[in-house]
A and B are shown apart, each in its own frame.
Chain A
Amino acid sequence: MNLRVIQYADIVAQIKELCLDANCNLPEDVWEALVKAQADEASPLGQNVLETILQNAQIAKEKRMPLCQDTGMVVVFAEVGQDVHIQGGLLSEAVDEGVRQAYKEGYFRMSVVKDPLERANTKDNTPAVLHVSLVAGDQLRLIVAPKGFGSENMSALKMLKPAEGVQGIKDFVVKTVSEAGGNPCPPIVIGVGIGGTVEKAALLAKRAVLREIGSTNPKPHLAELEAELLELVNLTGVGPQGFGGTQTALALFVETYPTHIAGLPVAVNINCHVARHVEATL
């Protein structure tokens, strides 16, 4: 079998470009969702907030400035084809080098501390949080999401009892969003990971929050759950910035995985309205 060679330097360049793009350009799907939210919002103050958020995206794009000063900790999902050979260095080092170059060149804020207790800044925004999965084929797919912590801090995980079922999931998601209030900068995007183990549920939630707005889970009962949860979240009244309103979330995505007979893990990952997610395939 022939392995396709992908060079370390090409991965560095791609990660750098994705980081620069993600921090300054609001994704099209998020823009469209915000435009729709502004049209649908019942609160006049909420409408003004959404107008300001849209203006911010235009200014950031024109001036090549970060949409938000919290340019985040960079989360990368790398889907590596089994027939790929990476030459010239380690994938993890290529990702970090791309982040390092982008954050310096883009005048982005360095928001990563080396040790969670000692808290000295690494001064180059590395390391990224890299999730690697092996997939079929000879390509490398890179999904890059600079993750701000106003919203990350409002995320939550709970090990429900199987008997709590769908109602337990609904209660937990609504409680998490209500208690978060204005902190995660609503209107938010919500990823819900259900099943697996404790770390699998969290990872599912993170992957879910990066889905394209407008996409639905291919399983009908889960697509239905996504719609029901989104409706419930938007009935909390939290609204844009937590000032009260009808548009609390732009989208809600559910991802699932098989789990143990004794468990029902549920993770809720929240993203702010600056829902940065970009990808490229090498």
Chain B
Amino acid sequence: MKRVLTTPLENVEALRAGDEVAISGVIYTARDAAHQRLVKLIAEGKPLPFDPKGAIIYYVGPSPAKPGEAIGSAGPTTSMRMDGLTIPLLQQGIKGMIGKGGRSSVVIEAMKEHGAVYFAAIGGAAALIAQSIKEVEAIAYPDLGAEAVHRMVVEDFPVIVAIDSQGNNLYEQGVAKYRDWRAEGAE
């Protein structure tokens, strides 16, 4: 059932909106404040703190790890807050983003242009998601605390393809399918 993906991502063209996927490998975290700094680095022509080619960025601000644990609860945050800061990262070769909720039409167009895919992790399933995160290391901006850029080693990290590299959008197609479902006897 589930498709298995390893990082760095290649050939995301085969993924389709609605596919359930398990990701293994390395992903990088960044949310609002880190995005602003990453985009500033790109504008200044400086290197990013990680290799962007085929990389996946996870929009997350985890809760702190208890002693002996790799991480605390770690579910996705709302992706649309990153919409205005996403395109420079796609231009650098980012192939995947993980978050929750829809994306702007501008971001979707850029995803099509650069062959990138947007995955949804299940918002609020943060304790379950944390079980698939094996190692965590802050690699940039430790002053941002939970919002620092972290390198995460993940195994079978559960996501769903929300918007694929052709622009198919689960948030539109799925909702259209069930809108006024009672009238159509869809139950």
Contacts and interface: CB of A to CB of B under 8 A. Distances in A.
A273 B131 CA distance: 20
Interface string B145-173: 11000000000001010100000001101
A182 B102 contact: yes
Given A237-B176, A242-B175, A109 B77 contact: no
A218 to B, nearest CB: 28
B46 interface: no
* Range of interface residues on B (Cβ < 8 Å): 35 or more
A185 interface: yes
Nearest to B178: A237
Contacts of A243: 18, 120, 160, 162, 170-171, 174-175
Pairs of residues from A and B, 7 with the lowest C-beta to C-beta distance, nearest first: A244-B174, A237-B179, A237-B178, A185-B123, A183-B101, A60-B127, A56-B128
A243 B100 CA distance: 10
B180 interface: yes
Contacts of B104: none
Contact of B182 (A63, A235, A273): A235
8 contacts: A45-B160, A52-B122, A55-B128, A56-B129, A66-B73, A68-B126, A109-B63, A272-B123
A236 interface: yes
A244 B72 contact: no
A69 interface: yes
A71 B146 CA distance: 13
Given A59-B127, A69-B60, A241-B122, 13 more contacts: A43-B177, A65-B72, A67-B73, A182-B100, A182-B102, A183-B80, A237-B174, A239-B175, A241-B123, A243-B170, A244-B170, A244-B173, A274-B124
B175 A65 contact: no
B43 interface: no
Contacts of B62: 69, 109
Contacts of A67: 73, 124, 126-127
A71 B74 CA distance: 11
Question: Which of A67, A108, A239, A244 has the largest count of B CB atoms less than 10 A from its CB?
Answer: A244
Interface residues of A, number: 44
Contact of B63 (A108, A237, A245, A272): A108
Which of B18, B173, B175, B177 has its CB near the most chain A CB atoms (within 10 A)?
B175
B78 A68 contact: no
Interface in B50-70: 60-66
Contacts, number: 164
Contacts of A237: 174-181
B123 A43 contact: no
A53 interface: yes
A262 to B, nearest CB: 35
A273 B124 contact: yes
A48 B177 contact: no
Nearest to B182: A235
A107 interface: yes
A70 interface: yes
A183 B126 contact: no
B145 A45 contact: no
A121 interface: yes
Contact of A235 (B78, B80, B123, B180): B180
A236 B179 contact: yes
B131 A59 contact: yes
B102 to A, nearest CB: 5
A59 B72 CA distance: 12
A241 B175 CA distance: 10
Contact of A71 (B63, B145, B175): B63
A174 to B, nearest CB: 11
B130 interface: yes
A235 B181 contact: yes
